[in-house]
Amino acid sequence: MIKKFIRRVLRLDARSGHSLIPVSKHGVRREALSHGARKTCEVLQQAGHSAYVVGGAVRDLLLGVPPKDYDVATSALPEEVHKLFRRSRLIGRRFKLVHCMFGSETIEVSTFRAGDSSDTDEHGRVLRDNVYGSREEDAARRDFTVNAMYYDPHDESILDFHNGLRDLKKKTVRIIGDPGARFREDPVRMLRAARFAAKLEFKIDPATRAPIAEMAKLIENVPAARLFDEMLKLLLSGHAASCVRELREAGLHHGLLPMLDVILEQPMGERFVMLALGETDERVRAGKPVSPAFLFASLLWHEVLTAWTKEQQNARPVAALHLAMDAVLDKQTDKLAIPRRFTAMMKEIWLLQPRFEQRSGKRPFALLENERFRAGYDFLALRSASGECPQELTDWWERFQHASPDTREDMLKPAAPDERRPRRRRRPGRKPGGSSGSGDNGGAPPAAPAD
């Protein structure tokens, strides 16, 4: 009874505010929402809580783009939410969230909270943001105005405390509050600004953009795992190529992926990276699966190539490639924790590359059977498209993999002189075991990097 009364008062309060936008003004009907999002709000509201669809989903619905997923913000505490939904689970340690499941859909439900800037590190980065708060406080702690709108499926109104709808119409990414302070609290917001600008084809508001170049180095203080998650979101957004362009324009690429700036400054490296990102974007937009390992293997390839050339002064090609890969990956993990499950596959893709140069004897057949053949071949295709290795090589493999057994035999090249030499014993420095790509190709010709 009391809860119902409070709810009514809150509604009245919101209605009287200038921030309440009726459906006649914004046009998003509740039918546009997913089943899970509607159901979650309905159950919470019927239990006397306030509940709204928030964040990216509201923004995307307003733009007429189907939301990727839905977040719900509520006045109910996590434990209360959990009790209301049979198929739900409490997640998170520092700040508890609830995942409510509806078939294959998962709705993330968070309790209104306030940004607490009283607990920061020496750079001003917020360490604690786990204080429950009001709806207004919840809106104020969000990053951008277009991400801080609250949709109520019950009356189809939108609560907009920070002029998000105006900015959405102006195609502007504008941070809520003082840009410098908000980036200091959480430097990842700078990356997010670049990501949203690229993804939504918006401009970053000049005042929001102004402090970025100077504050870019604060990204170094972000824990590596978080940075990796955010980079992955950026790279798998379907707009990776324009995200990277946006990062460069904002002066943010330095120190993100160490050496990404160096790579982008080499014409050959830039071509390769941009081609890889462009193809990833096409796949994402076509709804095809993409492999983060393939993508990271592409981003770091020219770095590996440079190190490989150097290592070949002292080691045989495959041993040198192992040394080069390890050196590059070691450098990366300081900044960007690429999980082990990805680094293993990245190495496999790289290690297959010299094997594509062997087109005689049994080796091409063994390579076809390799479980990473497809990824390795796609990678080879990128290399030739960027001008790093001959197109003729990729074309040969394209024909070879689809040819009949007889044609395959005819296609084989005469063995190169060094392939006929007896195998030498393994040298120190060669890693034992290794991945499927590290097969016995001790006589691999050095794939001379073209730059």
Q: Choosing among Mg ion, ligand ATP, none, which partner's interface includes residue 348 (Cβ < 5 to 8 Å by kind)?
A: none
Phi, psi of 114 (to 5 degrees): -105, 145
| Nearest CB to Mg ion, comparing residues 42 and 108 | 108
Could you confirm whether 71 is annotated as catalytic? yes
Q: How far is the C-alpha of 293 from the C-alpha of 296, rounded, in Å?
A: 5
Half-sphere exposure of 50 (CA within 13 A, CB side): 23
Q: Which of residues 44-83 bind ligand ATP (CB under 6 A)?
A: 55-56, 68, 71
Q: Is 148 in the site for ligand ATP (CB under 6 A)?
A: yes
Q: Is 186 in the site for ligand ATP (CB under 6 A)?
A: yes
Alpha carbon distances (Å) from 105 to 26, 34, 81, 152: 26, 9, 17, 19
Question: b/e map of 191-209 (b: 16 or more CB within 10 Å)?
Answer: bbbbbbbbbbebebbeebb
Q: Choosing among ligand ATP, Mg ion, none, which partner's interface includes residue 235 (Cβ < 5 to 8 Å by kind)?
A: none
Q: Is 188 in the site for ligand ATP (CB under 6 A)?
A: yes
User: DSSP secondary-structure letter at 119?
Assistant: S
Could you confirm whether 160 is annotated as catalytic? no
Minimum gap (Å) between residue 65 Cβ and ligand ATP: 9
Q: Is 184 in the site for ligand ATP (CB under 6 A)?
A: no
Could you confirm whether 69 is annotated as catalytic? yes
Chain-centroid distance, C-alpha 190: 15
| Nearest CB to Mg ion, comparing residues 106 and 436 | 106
Q: How far is the C-alpha of 1 from the C-alpha of 369, rounded, in Å?
A: 69
Tokens matching residue 358: 């062997």
Q: Choosing among ligand ATP, Mg ion, none, which partner's interface includes residue 87 (Cβ < 5 to 8 Å by kind)?
A: none
Contacting ligand ATP (CB under 6 A), which of 142, 184, 316, 355?
142
Q: With CB under 6 A, what is the number of residues at the site for ligand ATP? A: 11
Alpha carbon distances (Å) from 9 to 12, 14, 50, 54: 5, 8, 11, 21
- CA pseudo-torsion sign 74, 80, 84, 85: positive
Q: Choosing among ligand ATP, Mg ion, none, which partner's interface includes residue 143 (Cβ < 5 to 8 Å by kind)?
A: ligand ATP
Minimum gap (Å) between residue 314 Cβ and ligand ATP: 45
User: Which residues make up the interface to ligand ATP (CB under 6 A)?
Assistant: 55-56, 68, 71, 142-143, 147-148, 186, 188-189
Catalytic residues: 69, 71, 143
